Amino acid sequence: MSVITIERKVLAKNDEIAGLNRELFRKNNIFAFNLVSSPGSGKTSILERTLEYFNGKVKVAVIEGDVQTDLDAQRIAKYNVPAVQIVTRGGCHLDAPLINDALKNIDLKSIQLLIIENVGNLVCPANYDLGETLKIVVASTTEGDDKPLKYPEMFRNASVLIINKIDLLPYVNCNIETLKHNALRINPRLIIFETSCATNAGITDWCDWIVKQIPPR
């Protein structure tokens, strides 16, 4: 019982600060999304292709979450967008206070889109509200087609599913229709994109959708 009580207190404090973050995004007309996945699904590659596509046409900032290194932030640095690296030192997820601290290093009035790349994990990030507009979950074809059934809470809390690495479908044990079916069983409202960062398939559709979500100023 004490464990449950402590967890509730932690989540309550997190949700309070998430509310502050959400209000900051609302006041500044920012579309903020939380990009989540297992390790190796291609989150950072999708982020790179997204920044390449926008190429300054959309004002973007990035918050990078990682367990130990800043390697992903180094990959993003070449796109010349504001980026803040959060190293969790072993922590398996980002939380609202970490995001709130990171936001102090970003000029919110100068951006339209905030991309938060979470730590590679489909368990803990499902329960932590960061104040984001929505969660976007990435599942790669290399992970098989049963990922939504193994991690239903994440797929239930997400608004968008990106099925990545579709160029590898001929070589992996994944039926994309089964993957979509399993995801939609968990969350029938999911918007689904199919992408390949190797061929750029689906990147235009994904980025055009993002643009439609950005609030007018």
* Digit-coded pLDDT (tens) for 134-167: 999 999 999 999 999 999 999 999 999 999 999 9
Quote the domain boundaries for residue 178.
Answer: 2-213
Band of residue 48 on the pLDDT scale cut at 50, 70, 90: very high
Closest CA to 67 of 43, 48, 39: 39
State how far the alpha carbon of 110 is from the alpha carbons of 29, 58, 107, 150, in Å: 10, 11, 6, 40
Closest CA to 56 of 36, 24, 82, 91: 82
Closest CA to 148 of 122, 118, 119, 113: 122
State the Cα–Cα distance between residues 173 and 142, nearest whole angstrom: 7
Residue 5 structure tokens: 């009580």
Residue 164's CATH number? 3.40.50.300
How many domains is the chain built from? 1
Averaged over 71-82, what is the pLDDT? 81
Band of residue 179 on the pLDDT scale cut at 50, 70, 90: very high
Kindly write down the DSSP assignment for every residue of 119-165, as one continuous string: -S-SSGGGG---S-SEEEEEEEGGG-S-HHHHSHHHHHH-SEEEEE-
What tens digit of pLDDT does each residue of 95-148 get?
Answer: 999 999 999 999 999 999 999 999 989 998 998 999 999 999 999 999 999 999
